[in-house]
Amino acid sequence: MANVRVAGTGLTAFGASPERTGRDLFAEASIAAFEDSGVHRDDVEGVLYGNFMGELAEHQGHQGPLMAEAAGVQAPATRFESACASSGAAVREAVKRIRTGEDDVLLVGGTERMTNLGTAGATEALAIAADDLWEVRAGTTFPGAYALMAQAYFDAFGGDREELAHIAVKNHDNALPNENAQYQRAIEVDDVLEAPPVSEPLGLYDACPVSDGASALVLTSEDYAAEHDLEAPVAITGTGQGGDRMALHDRDHLARSPAAREAGEEAYADAGIDAGDVEVAEVHDCFTIAEVLALEALDLEPIGEGISAARDGRTTADGELPVNLSGGLKAKGHPVGATGASQVAEMAMLLAGTHPNSDHVADATTGVTHNAGGTVASAMVHVLEVVA
């Protein structure tokens, strides 16, 4: 099966730009991706686009064709919605379409406009990724749901807030050289521990920010990349998706992410690798506890031990397995519909040697990205490898 090449990547800065429309953000990201790829817009056969809260934030549904137009592409376009895994789902579908030979060139990405909603509005909008009848109406917020998992994790495996704080500190450190990151400033463990509580045991610095931003990828078949002499050394060699019950209380495990495990196993098998081959990872750390659950689900840390990985230096930039060298959602920002494709973009740059943090993984050839929807009722995992 032919590999799918990442021919171009484009990211806007993530952060607060409440006045900018989604279409403007995606236009910027797509222009950057086309310029990076050397691919002509006329060759694009489809646009696969992720977005979650467009109806609430912009009163705009049917965003697929709108965003194709914004990108200057004349091709059929579809929006993918899978909460915070929306553009991860778009990437997965694009990989499958290119592999079957149906398409050779696709524009893939996502956008979210969130900060114009304000904190209360964004909290309400994010909450609808949970079960409205049985969770949201009981007062469950998005941070609240992860807090339920954090408390369950502490009860099941031990661990404490101080260990979680090291994850936030690590990801802020990683974001320092990333000019697209929302927070380019270092924090200390005490800053995390002393921050105002959001949903105990999680505080303000355990949480990713509310962000605006867009991501875009130009993906091509291997044949197209060869025929057009593209500089595209990185391929997406594995894709996997997992699913679980919508409501956290209906899950078998309150402190694990079986959907991410399923997605990871599928993606590893698809790429013909195992967890031991992974040299660098970008995981969905919307909250500090989420990074722990992701590492354990992807078999990168044993169950119950992921919580100490950052504190003990295993996942820091100079550790044995650097995690979230982009800054992660925590410091890079989390415009939810843009996140999954942005992780693939960051990973492609890290492996290609074009990322400001590439020096930390200079010899790495294999990376994994993990993008979760809701409280991981959806999960998308991709394996990227240097192939040229």
Q: Residue 64: in which H helix or E strand, if any?
A: helix 63-70
Distance CA 107, CA 117 (A): 28
- Distance (Å) of CA 323 to CA 86, 297, 305: 21, 14, 15
Minimal distance, residue 260 CB to other proteins, in Å: 19
Provide the mask over 313-352, with x wherever binding to other proteins is found by CB under 8 A and - wherever it is not. Answer: ----------------------------------------
Q: Which of 172, 284, 334, 355 is catalytic?
A: 334
185 class by beta-carbon count within 10 Å (0-12 exposed, 13-18 middle, 19+ buried): exposed
User: Which residue from 70, 89, 91, 149 is in contact with other proteins, where contact means CB under 8 A?
Assistant: 149
DSSP, residue by residue, 224-291: HHHHTT----EEEEEEEEEE--SSGGGSS-SS--HHHHHHHHHHHHHHT--GGG--EEE---SBHHHH
User: Which residue from 56, 65, 69, 134 is in contact with other proteins, where contact means CB under 8 A?
Assistant: 134
Minimal distance, residue 159 CB to other proteins, in Å: 14
289, 248 in Cβ contact below 8 A?
A: no
Minimal distance, residue 20 CB to other proteins, in Å: 24
Structure-token pair, residue 338: 């843009």
From the list 48-56, 91-99, 104-112, 149-157, the region that binds other proteins by CB under 8 A is 149-157
DSSP, residue by residue, 300-330: SS-TTTGGGTTTTTSSSTTSSS-B-TT-HHH
2 touching other proteins, by CB under 8 A: no
Task: Determine the 3-state secondary structure of 20 from DSSP.
Answer: coil
Structure-token pair, residue 189: 């463990």
Kindly determine how many residues on this chain lie close enough to bind other proteins according to the rule CB under 8 A: 37
Chain residues 200-229 in contact with other proteins, contact rule CB under 8 A? 200-202
From the list 77-85, 137-145, 280-288, 314-322, the region that binds other proteins by CB under 8 A is 137-145
193, 165 in Cβ contact below 8 A?
A: yes
123 touching other proteins, by CB under 8 A: yes
59 touching other proteins, by CB under 8 A: no
Nearer to other proteins, 248 or 290 (CB): 248
Minimal distance, residue 199 CB to other proteins, in Å: 5
139 touching other proteins, by CB under 8 A: yes
Nearer to other proteins, 38 or 201 (CB): 201
199 touching other proteins, by CB under 8 A: yes
Nearest to 235 by CA among 223, 248, 253: 223
Nearer to other proteins, 150 or 164 (CB): 150
- What does the DSSP 8-state code read for residue 137? G
Active site residue 286: no
Minimal distance, residue 240 CB to other proteins, in Å: 22
Nearer to other proteins, 140 or 182 (CB): 140
**Burial track 219-240 (b if 16+ CB lie within 10 A, e otherwise):** bbbbebbeebebebbbbbbbbb
Nearer to other proteins, 19 or 250 (CB): 250
Structure-token pair, residue 297: 């689900």
Chain residues 247-286 in contact with other proteins, contact rule CB under 8 A? 247-250, 254
Task: Determine the 3-state secondary structure of 209 from DSSP.
Answer: coil
Active site residue 62: no
Provide the mask over 156-195, with x wherever binding to other proteins is found by CB under 8 A and - wherever it is not. Answer: ----------------------------------------
User: Which residue from 61, 76, 101, 197 is in contact with other proteins, where contact means CB under 8 A?
Assistant: 197
- What does the DSSP 8-state code read for residue 132? T
User: Which residue from 2, 152, 195, 386 is in contact with other proteins, where contact means CB under 8 A?
Assistant: 152
Q: How many CB atoms lie within 10 A of CB 162?
A: 12
User: Which residue from 24, 55, 69, 124 is in contact with other proteins, where contact means CB under 8 A?
Assistant: 124
> What are the residue numbers of the active site?
84, 334
Note the residues at the interface with other proteins (CB under 8 A).
119-121, 123-124, 127, 133-141, 143-144, 147-152, 155, 196-202, 245, 247-250, 254
